[in-house]
Amino acid sequence: MNKLLLSLIASFFVFGSALAQTGKGHKYVGGSFYFNYDKNGTTTNYSFDTGTTVYTQKDMVSLNIAPEFGFFLSDKWAIGIQPGYTRTSGTEISSFYSDVNSAQNYTYANDYHTDYVGLAINLRYYWMLSEKVGIFPQFGISSSHILNDFTNGGLTIGGSPNVVFFPTPKLGINMGFGNASYYYNYRSGNTIVNLSLSNSFNFGLNYYW
């Protein structure tokens, strides 16, 4: 993965020059879209004194849409606002197999979906290495909630390194990898801290003017 990323960055320098539309007074729109379908899903066995429960989640769908609008506060600093919508859905099946009496066996199936809405504020610092290639660390704070229960959600604070390539003066292709983040769950009070440069790799598009 690291060799692929370095190769992509190096290849960007061989393209002809084009002045990227960054700097104070400029704006950008873009965002991200994610879709994943897992037909097989996951299966977990739970053993009890009287039998075993087999819990399966299948036909799992994850969808995320997060548009973003931003503007440059100075030649290097940019701030962006990013609303987001996420839906997770699938089928859960719980089957109990009794070791005592087979008449007690049962299977329960349920189709489910959960909708989340959120809002993020992102801050970027651009270092343009050439007229077409730059890097920007992005720092952000975001809050997300279950759509029909706003007390159920969490707060995330974190950042990630990104590379941007301008094939044209106004179109930027972003590549992000890894992240450092802190997550707080509103309902439980639990926290999660994550630090990794290899647990994620994503692309995004921005239009600058």
* Residue 199 binned pLDDT confidence (cut-offs 50, 70, 90): low
Please report whether residue 111 resides in a domain.
Answer: no
**Residue 111 scores a pLDDT above 80:** yes
> Which amino acid is located at 101 in the chain?
N
Residue 82 maps to a domain: yes
Domain limits at 158? 2-35+65-86+116-208
Number of domains in the chain: 1
Evaluate if residue 191 carries a pLDDT over 90: yes
Let me know if residue 190 belongs to a domain. yes
Q: What pTM does this model have?
A: 0.70
CATH number of the domain within which 132 lies: 2.40.160
pLDDT greater at residue 16 or residue 38: 38
Q: How far apart are CA 169 and CA 11, in angstroms?
A: 18
User: 171 lies in a domain?
Assistant: yes
The token pair that represents 189 in the structure block: 């009070």
CA 146, 147, 150, 154 torsion-angle sign:
positive
Q: Model confidence over 118-151: pLDDT tens digits?
A: 999 999 999 999 888 999 999 999 999 998 888 8
Confidence bin at 14 (pLDDT 50/70/90): very low
pLDDT at 54: 95
Distance between CA 192 and CA 183 in Å, rounded?
A: 5
Is residue 102 in some structural domain? Answer: no
Question: In what helix (H) or strand (E) does residue 4 lie, and over which residues does it extend?
Answer: helix 2-12
Asked if residue 145 belongs to a domain, the reply is: yes
